[in-house]
Amino acid sequence: MTIRVALCGNPNVGKTSLFNALTGMRQYVANWPGVTVEVKEGVRSWKGHQLIITDLPGTYSLFATSLDEKIARDFLLYNTPDVVVVVADALSMEQGLYLLLEILELEARAILVVNAIDEAKKKGLIIDKQELSKHLKVPVVLTSALTGEGIHELLDCIVSTASTEQKKVLFNFSDETEKMIQQLATLIKTQVGESASRWFAIKYLEGDPHTVEQLSRFDLQSSVKPGSLKSQIARERYDHIQLIVKESVAA
């Protein structure tokens, strides 16, 4: 089976180092029309499967403000890779988990990789991957691109995740926020499709310029203001993340 894998995460968390560890020398610069940012692709055979791996530009969020973010986001939205590997830095997981929560809204099959586990060990941090996985409801692999720890486990995890069912949304906001999301999703679903309606509703409520522009044909502004839940949505995600980190990381 051919499995298309996207590697994404914040800048400098070790995506390219992991990409090199996963693909070795079998990589090339992807020829994407109209894209000036260099995007690398590579292949890896693993237990009878062919993995095609894309090293996406670093991004803090899928709120597409920079070109890098727009490329990563468009790839995830429109190329719909079979497995999305979200790489987070073991020493500062929060920002990576934020991106993971956004990616889960795309109903992607996601894996959380906590990289630089060598550094975490040096600092005496103990990261409980079962606990992380339990809260996030996605598989978690601890890796070090430096020592090679966890790389084979990650390859196995990619293969097993690829054949699971596509994830439905795994993070629920507060009842109040969910109500707003669902109301808006209902208004737009005939236009954007049932499956993408939640994603676009959330992005509209966050005030994402790309989404607001896309939905500008509908007269939504009179009932729901774009960006009206921007800080609320961010706060709910961060509260959830803080709770997870508290229960999963011991110093």
Residues that bind ligand GDP (CB under 6 A): 9, 11-17, 58, 115-116, 118-119, 144-146
Report residue 43 as tokens. Answer: 């292949």
Asked if 228 interacts with Mg ion (CB under 5 A), we say no
Which of these, 180, 169, 170, 168, lies nearest to 232 by C-alpha position?
180
Asked if 177 interacts with Mg ion (CB under 5 A), we say no
State how far the Cα of 81 lies from the Cα of 51, in Å rounded to an integer: 11
CB of 94 to ligand GDP, least distance (A): 16
SS3 72: helix
Q: Which does 14 bind (CB under 5 to 8 A by kind): ligand GDP, Mg ion, none?
A: ligand GDP
- Nearer to Mg ion by Cβ, of 15 and 198: the residue is 15
- Nearer to ligand GDP by Cβ, of 38 and 176: the residue is 38
CB of 2 to Mg ion, least distance (A): 24
Q: Which stretch binds Mg ion (CB under 5 A): 7-15, 104-112, 174-182, 243-251?
A: 7-15
Asked if 16 interacts with Mg ion (CB under 5 A), we say yes
- Nearer to Mg ion by Cβ, of 15 and 237: the residue is 15
Question: What kind and span of H or E run contains 84?
Answer: strand 83-89
Residue 246, Cβ neighbours under 10 Å: how many? 9
Which of these, 47, 129, 65, 55, lies nearest to 85 by C-alpha position?
55
State how far the Cα of 76 lies from the Cα of 70, in Å rounded to an integer: 10
CB of 133 to Mg ion, least distance (A): 25
- Nearer to ligand GDP by Cβ, of 57 and 226: the residue is 57
Question: What kind and span of H or E run contains 180?
Answer: helix 175-192
- Nearer to ligand GDP by Cβ, of 102 and 236: the residue is 102
Residue 62, Cβ neighbours under 10 Å: how many? 24
List interacting residues with Mg ion (CB under 5 A): 12, 15-16
